Amino acid sequence: MFATIGKYVGGKVLTAILIMACAASGFWFYKHPEQLQTIWSVLKGVLVWLGLVLVLPWAAFFVTGRVVKQDSNVAAGLLLLGLVAIDALLAFYLANWSVNGALTWMVLLLGILCAGVYNFIVCDFQASHFEDQL
């Protein structure tokens, strides 16, 4: 019984806290619209970069086919290195070639590492598909 009452009261308190936080943030951005514009510009850059990262290895499937035909680990490594380099250059370009602060650098490097893992997974899938056709 106490657990049910606790969940009910906790839910009401949490709802009140979230409503107050949303109202406070709405008021803050109403008073400081330039910060809202900054957030939207950063979010736009992140979404554009994610879209390009997701499309790039699929758009370069013909290169993966050539690498599979060569049957060379060096060629596969160079392909992955090239894809990650393109992802990194796109990230720096969308950041206007200036990255300030340790947190920004860490987020950028984490994003590039995740893009590298994604490129590896997609290229591995494509390579297995091309090997089945050979």
Residue 85: pLDDT above 90?
A: yes
Length of the chain: 134
| Residue with the larger pLDDT of the pair 82 and 132 | 82
For residues 58 and 12, give the distance between their C-alpha atoms in angstroms, rounded to a whole number: 47
pTM of the model: 0.69
pLDDT, position 134: 61
Whether the Cβ atoms of residue 63 and residue 79 lie closer than 8 Å to each other: yes
pLDDT in tens, 56-78: 888 988 888 888 888 888 988 89
Least confident of 3-7, 56-60, 124-128: 3-7
| Residue with the larger pLDDT of the pair 11 and 119 | 119
